[in-house]
């Protein structure tokens, strides 16, 4: 009886080790997919859609549940005029994101460019709830640009001010506030 127990214990430990290895492997795949998606976002931001797509393909192979994959795919599709597909992929990213400020910022800016201002505002506000989001000043600035597009100059001015409270040298907010003052004074 003790002999069987020892073999069961050895078997359980071996299976536990396998489970641990597969969990570690899955976590590594998730991290690698996220890094590939971040590289894709950077490649897209500097105009290299081909590199971005190659990185997205690799990220999707590693972990298709990575929200940034779908968000960057949406940006590329928007760039190519595939607005329905872009919208679908950004909605998928939003569904997977669980409150990720970066995804909410990307989706909000897309919605703003499509003239869906109320929905964009909602995404920006949700994004501000993400205390782990590294660049909330970017979110505030994009919200300000969107508010300006609706004609709400005071709200835009307020949002640019919020961005500058977080980082007083944030060039995009400074430029947008300067443009606002030039165009509308006050």
User: What does the buried/exposed string (b/e) look like for 54-85 if buried means 16 or more CB atoms within 10 Å of the residue's CB?
Assistant: ebbebbbebbeebbbbbbbbbbbbbeeeeeee
pLDDT of res. 23: 53
Could you report the per-residue pLDDT of 109-119, keeping only the tens digit for each? 999 999 999 99
Q: Which fold has domain 33-97?
A: 1.25.40
Q: Is the pLDDT of residue 95 over 50?
A: yes
Category of 81 on φ-ψ map: left (φ > 0), alpha (ψ -120 to 50) or beta: left
117-185 fold: 1.25.40
pLDDT tens digits, one per residue of 42-69: 999 999 989 999 999 999 999 999 999 9
Torsion of CA 113, 59, 38, 19, to 10 degrees: 130
Give residue limits of the domains in the chain: 33-97, 117-185
Alpha-carbon distances, residue 114 vs 4, 51, 86, 87, 90 (angstroms):
67, 26, 11, 10, 13
**What dihedral do alpha carbons 125, 110, 45, 70 form, nearest 10°?**
90
* Closest by CA position to 42, among listed 58, 56, 29, 63: 56
Q: At what angle do helices 136-150 and 117-128 cross, to 10 degrees?
A: 160
pLDDT at 162 exceeding the cut of 50? yes
């Amino acid at each position: 009886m003790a002999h069987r127990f020892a073999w069961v214990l050895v078997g359980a430990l071996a299976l536990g080790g396998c489970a641990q290895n597969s969990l570690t492997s899955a976590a590594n795949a998730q991290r690698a997919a996220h890094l590939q998606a971040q590289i894709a976002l950077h490649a897209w931001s500097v105009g290299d859609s081909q590199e971005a797509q190659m990185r997205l393909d690799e990220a999707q192979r590693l972990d298709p549940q990575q929200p940034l994959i779908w968000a960057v795919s949406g940006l590329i599709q928007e760039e190519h005029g595939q607005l329905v597909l872009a919208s679908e992929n950004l909605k998928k990213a939003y569904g997977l994101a669980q409150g990720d400020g970066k995804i909410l910022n990307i989706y909000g800016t897309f919605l703003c460019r499509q003239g869906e201002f109320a929905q964009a505002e909602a995404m920006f506000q949700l994004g501000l709830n993400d205390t782990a989001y590294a660049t909330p000043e970017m979110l505030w600035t994009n919200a300000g640009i969107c508010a300006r597009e609706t004609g709400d100059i005071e709200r835009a001015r307020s949002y640019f001010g919020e961005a500058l409270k977080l980082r007083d040298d944030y060039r995009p907010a400074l430029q947008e506030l300067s443009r606002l003052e030039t165009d509308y004074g006050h």
